């Protein structure tokens, strides 16, 4: 929660359309429990399937949309950006928050006809003891092809430069599909942001040399937490980039129950407004 020190917990989570397995079994109730366990003030969700008429016909399927189910009892505010549309439904990115969300707008960043990708921008109004703060939130899901990801990163950079005040707190989170690290290099080079997991891990290694044994990438490049696949996290696809924040902690849950919820693990960051 935002208190005297203006602390904020955020998470990014690709929920795999709320289904798992060949039979496409609904995992919505498990995902709702996951969000309770994460206990974030703001969650950036990818692959939220807000409409699926095929699943809706199945006996026992929850009433309402996916966000209706996921937000019950936890999040009063939401923003949804539709990316892919098909005859029986649609899916996209969503931001769910305990704090008020003002204006929001989804941007089509698809690079070719085979992949529908979007970037959701919203502004959260955070009430603190020192007054109200507007935090810019960007939730994105980049493509599978490196050239597409680089062009999508360039769109993101131009958007931030033109639409986000330079002194405004900013959180960019999502599934970047950036196993080749091209996007990470572009964002660090051209935007005044830093990757939360990398920053936290570097500071921890300076304090405790034994932390080098943790499962993070070593070297001079930014380090990113492993979140994919959930059964044995190896790739560093999910990221949280921040500006005007201090990073107090970063974590990725572990356990069998998380494997059955999605093919991604959530990435959690504890922040403090700088």
146-171 confidence digits (pLDDT tens): 999 999 999 999 999 999 999 999 99
Residue 181 corresponds to which tokens in the numbers above? 């690290």
For residues 23-34, average pLDDT = 90
217-261 confidence digits (pLDDT tens): 443 333 458 999 999 999 999 999 999 999 999 999 999 999 999
95-146 confidence digits (pLDDT tens): 999 999 999 999 999 999 999 999 999 999 998 877 889 999 999 999 999 9
In angstroms, the CA 137 to CA 12 distance is: 12
C-beta of residue 274 within 8 angstroms of C-beta of residue 210? no
Q: What pLDDT is recorded for position 202?
A: 74
Residue 248 corresponds to which tokens in the numbers above? 């107090």
Q: What pLDDT is recorded for position 5?
A: 63
In angstroms, the CA 108 to CA 81 distance is: 9
> Which residue, chain included where needed, has tokens 């979007």?
118
Q: pTM for the complete prediction?
A: 0.89
148: three-class secondary structure by DSSP: helix
For residues 165-181, average pLDDT = 95
For residues 80-94, average pLDDT = 95
CA within 13 Å, CB half, 211 = 13
> Which residue, chain included where needed, has tokens 């999605």?
262
For residue 165, give every residue at least 6 positions away whose Cβ sits within 8 Å of its Cβ, in sequence order, or none: none
Give the C-alpha distances (Å, rounded to integers) separating 23 from 19, 26, 27, 32, 120: 9, 9, 12, 20, 30
C-beta of residue 32 within 8 angstroms of C-beta of residue 67? no
For residue 56, give every residue at least 6 positions away whose Cβ sits within 8 Å of its Cβ, in sequence order, or none: none
Q: What pLDDT is recorded for position 44?
A: 98
Q: What pLDDT is recorded for position 217?
A: 46
In angstroms, the CA 118 to CA 52 distance is: 19
Q: What pLDDT is recorded for position 124?
A: 98
182-218 confidence digits (pLDDT tens): 899 899 999 989 898 887 777 766 655 554 555 544 4
For residues 15-27, average pLDDT = 86
């Amino acid at each position: 929660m935002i208190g005297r020190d203006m602390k904020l917990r955020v998470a990014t989570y690709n929920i795999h359309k709320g289904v798992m397995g060949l039979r496409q079994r609904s995992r919505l109730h498990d995902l709702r429990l996951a969000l309770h366990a994460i206990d974030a003030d703001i969650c950036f969700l990818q692959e939220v399937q807000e409409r699926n008429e095929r699943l809706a016909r199945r006996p026992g399927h929850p009433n309402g949309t996916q966000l209706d189910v996921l937000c019950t009892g936890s999040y009063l505010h939401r923003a949804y950006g539709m990316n892919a549309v098909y005859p029986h439904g649609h899916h996209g990115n969503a931001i769910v928050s305990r704090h008020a969300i003002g204006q929001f707008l989804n941007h089509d960043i698809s690079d070719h006809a085979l992949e529908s990708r979007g970037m959701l921008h919203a502004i959260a109004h955070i009430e603190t003891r020192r007054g109200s703060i507007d935090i810019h939130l960007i939730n994105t899901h980049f493509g599978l092809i490196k050239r597409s990801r680089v062009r999508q990163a360039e769109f993101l950079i131009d958007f931030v430069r033109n639409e986000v005040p330079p002194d405004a707190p900013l959180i960019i989170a999502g599934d970047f599909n950036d196993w080749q690290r091209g996007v990470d290099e572009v964002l660090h080079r051209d935007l005044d942001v830093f990757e939360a997991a990398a920053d936290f891990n570097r500071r921890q290694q300076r304090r405790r040399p034994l932390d080098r044994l943790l499962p993070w990438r070593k070297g001079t490049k930014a380090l990113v937490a492993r979140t994919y696949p959930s059964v044995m996290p190896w790739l560093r696809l999910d990221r949280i980039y921040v500006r005007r924040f201090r990073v107090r902690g970063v974590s990725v849950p572990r356990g069998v129950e998380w494997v059955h919820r999605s093919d991604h693990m959530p990435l959690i960051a504890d922040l403090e407004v700088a």
